[in-house]
Structures are given as structure tokens and as C-alpha cells.
Copies of this chain bind each other. A is one copy, B any other.
């Protein structure tokens, strides 16, 4: 579980952690049932505060990517069909991307080609 943080980025650290875990699940580095490092340990490992990790974990649980247990810590949730909330979250991102693409005169087939390529790029990340 490698997380690359950019402390100079305008993207909040907790969101970078969130994105890193989602990317890990999507790419198969993190598999169902696997445990994430405890909040305190991950915080020390990547040099940030415990609460920042905790915020990322809480959001990941809220969005159904992980489950949090008192003893077992954070474990990857089993695969499940996307919920309406998941679809809404994903759709918001795609709509922003599609609007920018179309506003830049990008044809639908080119946009879809880009989407397909980026989806495939998650394979071995």
C-alpha cells in the first residue's frame, strides 16, 4: 500500500488518501477483506496527523469502500453493485469532465475513447 502525497497540492491531504485507497481497490492492489494500516500507523508512515487519516477512512466508509471495526481496523468491503449514491457521485465527476470536453469541441467518440483508455490504465497500477 503505497500512497503518494503532494503536500504542495491544492487537493486536501485527506482526499489524496481517499483517492489513493480507491485507486488501490480499483487496480487490485487492495483486495476484498484486506486490512488497511491502523490510522495511527498510516499517519506516522506518511508523516501526517492521525485525524487526517481518520477523516479519509470515515469518508471511505461513508462511501462504502471499507468497513471499520473496533478490533480488526479498516478492511476493504466486498464487491457489490454500485448504489444510487455511488452512481450519483461518479456521475457528478463524469458530467464535469464531459462538459469540459464538449466545451473544448471534443467529439463524443473521442471522449469515450479517453474514458476507456483511462479505465484500462487502472489495470496494473
Q: Does A105 have its Cβ within 8 Å of any Cβ on chain B?
A: yes
A108–B118 alpha-carbon span in the complex (Å):
10
Interface residues of A in 73-102 (CB under 8 A from B): 79-82, 86-87, 89-91, 93-102
Contacting residues, chain B, for A115 (C-beta < 8 A): 94, 98, 111-112, 115
Complex contact A82–B106 (CB within 8 A): yes
Q: Give the interface size class of chain A.
A: 35 or more
Q: Does A13 have its Cβ within 8 Å of any Cβ on chain B?
A: no
Complex contact A108–B86 (CB within 8 A): no
Complex contact B19–A103 (CB within 8 A): no
Copies of this chain, complex-wide, total 2
A27–B106 alpha-carbon span in the complex (Å):
13
Q: Does A25 have its Cβ within 8 Å of any Cβ on chain B?
A: yes
- Shortest CB-to-CB span from A106 to chain B, Å, is 6
CB-contact partner of A103 in B26, B101, B108, under 8 A = B26
What would 22 A/B residue contacts be, using CB atoms closer than 8 Å? A19-B96, A19-B99, A22-B99, A22-B100, A26-B98, A26-B100, A26-B102, A26-B103, A80-B105, A89-B100, A90-B97, A90-B104, A93-B96, A93-B97, A94-B94, A94-B115, A94-B118, A95-B122, A98-B118, A99-B122, A111-B115, A112-B112
